[in-house]
């Protein structure tokens, strides 16, 4: 079966997480993703995310860059920028996540790239939108988590501002970028027109946070403060049981009343504080507190058996190590062992979504730096003399495996 993105060539001038996650999804469904990396070290995630079996091949880099090809090209060396332009002329999508002024200095603004290829989808991912005062500021995930209110959620709930210990802003915006690229490709299939897309992390995360927590300041005049109290409550967390922790949510009347029965307080279903969704929301602190206290009476296993029988949403709390050994993931064959040509056996995660159309069937491990430089340059139409000149001046790395 053909994959949905077979025949789509993506030039990926991104690094770390936000861009590579975006292009990873495109690669998994058949796009030919060419990862353009600057010598000598390439994508900083090759080293920023810890050591690997061989240099420049960290675990995070492997997970975010499978099924891609690496072109290690120095755009500041004679011939480097010309080689990239030749590649863009025969590509469908350009994705980049450096600051816009740097792209302009390279002569790679949208208008300049569009002149090479009118059908190209030109996608800029950067920290801040270009219409506001922050437009030239650099950004990483932590900068966006702090400025867009994510760290403030922890401050309000737990007493101190803290980042979520996952690169969440990058991952969220990376998924949004994938959606926008697919929309642009669909638009092009109907109109024949390329497109320019700006994807600012700050604005996207501000929307993400405020959709949840603008709360009563949604209205003009405001009906009250910001922050959904149900989500900000100290007991909105995994709750202690007799022997460990459990994750439980009971939103509907049927679920809440079942919890009251289970913890030995059936009379609460008639309590005006707890007898409806609206009442429980109004008295959420008391509701969550009595639920937390009741769950201390039995072990997690005992509660899971009870809640499964009562159809109350509940799951055991997983540590990171526990997640790797989760029995449901084992049933689903979520993890698989793959043989990487340089890193040996690696633990890969299968694509979680099932589709009636095909994903890429041939798995290719994340590339060594410059592993595909020569073949990509040849495909772009560079002569052997031009390729040798780039090799001679250090403008390209030939990282082909021995």
Kindly report, residue by residue over 121-163, the tens digit of the pLDDT. 999 999 999 999 999 999 999 999 999 999 999 999 999 999 9
Overall domain count for the chain: 2
Question: Which CATH number belongs to the domain containing residue 263 in this structure?
Answer: 3.30.1540.10
Judge whether 45 lies within some domain: yes
Instruction: Copy the structure tokens of residue 330.
Output: 């084992």
275 and 175 within one domain:
no
34 and 161 within one domain:
yes
Q: State the Cα–Cα distance between residues 298 and 304, nearest whole angstrom.
A: 10
194 and 65 within one domain:
yes
> What value does the mean pLDDT take over residues 170-177?
98
104 and 252 within one domain:
no
Host domain of residue 265: 239-316
174 and 122 within one domain:
yes
Distances (CA, A) of 135 to 131, 145, 200: 7, 17, 9
Judge whether 230 lies within some domain: no
Q: State the Cα–Cα distance between residues 375 and 384, nearest whole angstrom.
A: 11
> What value does the mean pLDDT take over residues 80-96?
98
Q: State the Cα–Cα distance between residues 161 and 142, nearest whole angstrom.
A: 12
Instruction: Copy the structure tokens of residue 276.
Output: 């409806």
> What value does the mean pLDDT take over residues 193-205?
98
Kindly report, residue by residue over 364-394, the tens digit of the pLDDT. 999 999 999 999 999 999 999 999 999 999 9
Q: State the Cα–Cα distance between residues 36 and 68, nearest whole angstrom.
A: 10
362 and 305 within one domain:
no
Neighbouring-strand partners of residue 338? 346
Residue 306 has pLDDT above 80, yes or no: yes
pTM (predicted TM-score): 0.94
Q: State the Cα–Cα distance between residues 369 and 383, nearest whole angstrom.
A: 22
366 and 301 within one domain:
no
32 and 166 within one domain:
yes
140 and 204 within one domain:
yes
How many Å is the maximal CA-CA distance in the chain?
85
Residue 402 has pLDDT above 50, yes or no: no
Question: Which CATH number belongs to the domain containing residue 42 in this structure?
Answer: 3.40.50.10540
- Nearest CA among 382, 399, 379, 389 for reference residue 90: 379
Q: State the Cα–Cα distance between residues 129 and 123, nearest whole angstrom.
A: 13
Instruction: Copy the structure tokens of residue 60.
Output: 């995070």
Judge whether 392 lies within some domain: yes
* Residue that terminates a domain, selected from 296, 316, 336: 316
Judge whether 101 lies within some domain: yes
Judge whether 371 lies within some domain: yes
């Amino acid at each position: 079966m053909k994959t949905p993105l077979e025949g789509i060539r993506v030039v990926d001038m991104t690094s770390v997480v936000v861009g590579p996650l975006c292009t990873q999804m495109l690669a998994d469904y058949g796009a030919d993703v060419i990862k353009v990396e600057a010598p000598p070290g390439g994508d900083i995630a090759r080293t920023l995310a810890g050591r690997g079996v061989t240099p420049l091949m960290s675990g995070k880099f492997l997970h975010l860059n499978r099924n891609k090809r690496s072109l290690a090209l120095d755009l500041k060396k004679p011939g480097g920028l010309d080689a990239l332009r030749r590649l863009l002329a025969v590509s469908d999508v350009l994705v980049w996540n450096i600051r816009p002024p740097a792209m302009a200095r390279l002569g790679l603004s949208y208008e300049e790239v569009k002149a090479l290829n009118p059908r190209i989808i030109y996608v800029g991912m950067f920290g801040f939108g270009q219409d506001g005062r922050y437009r030239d500021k650099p950004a990483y995930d932590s900068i966006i988590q702090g400025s867009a209110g994510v760290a403030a959620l922890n401050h309000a709930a737990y007493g101190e501002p803290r980042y979520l210990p996952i690169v969440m802003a990058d991952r969220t915006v990376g998924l949004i970028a994938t959606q926008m690229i697919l929309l642009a490709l669909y638009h092009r299939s109907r109109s024949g027109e390329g497109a320019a897309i700006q994807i600012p992390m700050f604005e996207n995360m501000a929307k993400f946070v405020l959709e949840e927590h603008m709360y009563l300041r949604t209205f003009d005049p405001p009906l009250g403060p910001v922050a959904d109290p149900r989500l900000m409550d100290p007991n909105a967390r995994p709750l202690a049981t007799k022997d460990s922790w459990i994750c439980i949510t009971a939103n509907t009347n049927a679920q809440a009343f079942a919890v009251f029965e289970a913890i030995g307080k059936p009379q609460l279903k008639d309590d005006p504080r707890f007898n409806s969704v609206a009442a429980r929301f109004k008295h959420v602190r008391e509701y969550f507190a009595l639920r937390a206290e009741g769950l201390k009476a039995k072990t997690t296993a005992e509660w899971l058996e009870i809640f499964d029988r009562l159809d109350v949403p509940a799951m055991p709390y997983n540590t990171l190590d526990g997640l790797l050994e989760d029995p449901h993931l084992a049933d689903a064959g979520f993890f698989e062992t793959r043989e990487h040509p340089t890193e040996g056996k690696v633990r890969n995660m299968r694509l979680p979504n099932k589709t009636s159309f095909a994903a890429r069937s041939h798995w290719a491990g994340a590339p060594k730096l410059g592993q595909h430089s020569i073949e990509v340059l040849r495909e772009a139409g560079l002569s052997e003399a031009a390729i040798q000149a780039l090799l001679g001046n250090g403008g390209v790395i030939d990282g082909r495996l021995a």
